[in-house]
Structure 1
Amino acid sequence: MSYDTVAGIVLAGGRSRRMGQDKAALEFEGVTMLTRIAEAIGERCTPVLVAAPESSQAYRELSKESDLQWVTDEQDGSGPLGGLVAGLRAAAAAGAEVAFVCATDMPLVHADIVDELLAGLTPSTDAVIAHDSQRDHPMAGVYRTGTADALQALVDAGELRMLAAVDAISTRRVGVSNADWLTNVDAPEDLHRIRVAG
């Protein structure tokens, strides 16, 4: 199936405790990690939205220096699931039926992952998430924007986990052709490792 508009949503509201500083603002290949990710998915997605509350470090440090569209109306303390809901609603308002969603700590993400996940979306499927040999990656997936209300119900019930979201809606899991796209940078040693490898 083809879609006229596929939005991109970068979840950037995390506290980056293990990194010790905001991951979105970290330098990677000469730009911030947020810029690197937004440029990559922007090859397939319009608009690219950044979901982060105004209280987040990412918003405070980067929103005035960026041309990205920020979505700041997620509920405080609602975690990445709250950011997903806010992003999906903003994407729907922009006319997108589906959105590619990723975290702000995936600097190796490539535009081709959007194509590969979209190829797995069927009329009866609400979301398609990446899966590797070890685990699901709910923060690397395409989601129908119409699932926002169902996911909001989870947030209202106190649920914060992204895996709860994919269990609550009709979700397919697919392998992607390059597992490096799914690399997360959670701590300084992770960033060092991919810089050396690159």
Structure 2
Amino acid sequence: MSKTGDQMRLPVTAAVLAGGRSMRMGVDKTMLPVDGEPLVARVAEMVGELCQHVVVVTNRPEALESADLPTGVRVLQDEVAYQGPLGGLVTALENAEDDWVLAVAADMPWLRPEVVRLLWESRDGAQVVIPLTEKGSEPLLALYHRDCLPAARKVLESGRRRVVAILPSLKVVEVSLAELRAVDPDLASFVNVNTPDDLSDVREGAGPAQRSKEGREVRVSVIEVGTRRPRGMPSERAVTIDMNGTEIATVQATPGDLEEMAVGFLVGEGLLTDREAFLGADVDAKRGLVYVRSNEPVPEDLVYRRRYITAGCGKGVTFSSLGHTLGLEAVTSDEVVDSAELYDMIGQMSRQSVAYRDTGGMHSCALGRDGQVLLVREDVGRHNAVDKVLGRAWIDRIPVEGAVLLTTGRISYEMAVKAAKARVPVVVSRTAVTDLAAEVAGTVGVTLIGYARGGKLVVYTRPERVSIAEEDDL
């Protein structure tokens, strides 16, 4: 039997999971060349030097015909297509030639053998051996005993697709961050290729985030010339929203509060309407994936619907054209909001916008009632900030009837639609309102207010909901 260095190959079946749709990349990333070979072949070759058997699990076996996989690598097709990493793991466990399976994502180009051997040596009677990185558990570079199969099947049948959902019912050994850094100081093994920028970094040989001598990640900062004042940088990542196994959309967003952003997006698009049918959401922050589960079905024609690229930051996405929105049920509310309360809530939102003060490049959105701000969320995209607020309110069952939605960004037509679908009667911005937004809002019964700053405001639609003191000069 062949050896790696002085050590034998491990009695493990390595399962390279290559069944994703690569929505954030735009093409099948597993076939993109890195150092002259497809990414999936590179990963299969690396694990083949460590493990006795290697399989590649995919939904598209025909796509791998030109991958030039190493000799002896088997290609397995998922029993049910597009069931996420958990579906791939189930297929691997069922077909493994060894008691242990090493699950590894097909987009990990810098896997170090020392990490795999560390996982193997840490078994100690476990059913799962999983590493803990700075971003949490990494289930797609982990060891699974074939005894995990019943638990994995049960979770998959429940509609969940995240691998970590099987862990509570199994005996798990966690490999600490300190142990990982001892064999892989920069955690290069855990780098994924999700976006074109990631691919460029890999091809250029750029490693993980730079670290200081003390082992801390070095944060990129900008010093403003003349002031020497440090300023952070806004963060954005590609985030894919999945509902009941169907990939709905990929958006650019700030990587925080992703559960509520996904839920808010689906509520705003009319895909989530029944709170009692909502089953929950799982976030894979490392890979930028949010899996939303609901007893409400995804419309069968969704994949054929036209997606409209909006005028928002990062090119917002909506399924609602202007024609569709004019058929929405009108928002009926007799609530009247005092103009002084609106000014005050704008100020409350500003004071709670911590990320904006740190970076100067974030949008804020808030939900207020009776002069008090209840929620504030921030994001590089104004649409995303709205989704995060509406999603949090929907998840926590916070009533929005009679509430006020406040934003630092321009109000365009699709933001008016989000408010209408969420049944929010009043939307306020510190800046402008577009003509289409005003047209839509007037039709669906939403009060739009712009330029709410400096003691002034402009009411564009449904002014009866705003009371203005006599001294206010509009």
TM-score by length of 2: 0.38
Correspondent of 1:10 among 3, 13, 16: 16
1:69 paired with 2:74, answer: yes
Correspondent of 2:38 among 10, 32, 38: 32
Instruction: Give the Cα–Cα distance (whole angstroms) in 1 for the partners of residues 26 and 9 of structure 2.
Output: 39
Does the Cα contact within 8 Å between 2:9 and 2:51 map onto a contact in 1?
Answer: no
Q: CA deviation at 1:4?
A: 6.4
Instruction: Give the Cα–Cα distance (whole angstroms) in 2 for the partners of residues 162 and 142 of structure 1.
Output: 12
Q: CA deviation at 1:135?
A: 1.6
Residue identity in the other structure for 2:14: G
Q: Secondary structure at the residue paired with 2:192? A: coil
Name 1:102's counterpart in structure 2: 104
1:157 paired with 2:158, answer: yes
Name 1:185's counterpart in structure 2: 193
**Larger helix share, 1 or 2:** 1
Does the Cα contact within 8 Å between 1:98 and 1:142 map onto a contact in 2?
Answer: yes
Name the stretch that deviates more: 13-22 or 3-12. 3-12
Instruction: Give the Cα–Cα distance (whole angstroms) in 2 for the partners of residues 77 and 61 of structure 1.
Output: 15
Instruction: Give the Cα–Cα distance (whole angstroms) in 2 for the partners of residues 153 and 3 of structure 1.
Output: 32
Instruction: Give the Cα–Cα distance (whole angstroms) in 1 for the partners of residues 129 and 122 of structure 2.
Output: 6
Aligned-pair identity (%)? 31
Alignment of 1:36-185 (within 5 A): 36-53=42-59, 56=60, 59-63=61-65, 65-66=68-69, 67=71, 68-91=73-96, 94=97, 96-123=98-125, 125-174=126-175, 175=177, 176=180, 177-178=183-184, 179-185=187-193
C-alpha offsets along residues 130-167 of structure 1, whole Å, 9 cap, x if unaligned?
22122211001011012112101111111111221233
Does the Cα contact within 8 Å between 2:107 and 2:192 map onto a contact in 1?
Answer: yes
Correspondent of 1:195 among 195, 203, 223: 203
Which gives a bigger RCO, structure 1 or 2 (Cα 8 Å, sep 6+)? 1
C-alpha offsets along residues 2-58 of structure 1, whole Å, 9 cap, x if unaligned?
9962110010000000011111101011111111101111111121011112xx3xx
Q: Secondary structure at the residue paired with 2:51? A: coil
Q: CA deviation at 1:114?
A: 1.5
C-alpha offsets along residues 44-91 of structure 1, whole Å, 9 cap, x if unaligned?
1121011112xx3xx222146434201114322321101101101111
Once superposed, what is the RMSD of the aligned Cα atoms? 1.9
Structure 2: segments with no counterpart, 5+ residues: 1-7, 208-474
Does the Cα contact within 8 Å between 2:119 and 2:142 map onto a contact in 1?
Answer: yes
Does the Cα contact within 8 Å between 1:117 and 1:128 map onto a contact in 2?
Answer: yes
Number of aligned residues: 189
**Larger strand share, 1 or 2:** 2
Does the Cα contact within 8 Å between 1:71 and 1:86 map onto a contact in 2?
Answer: yes
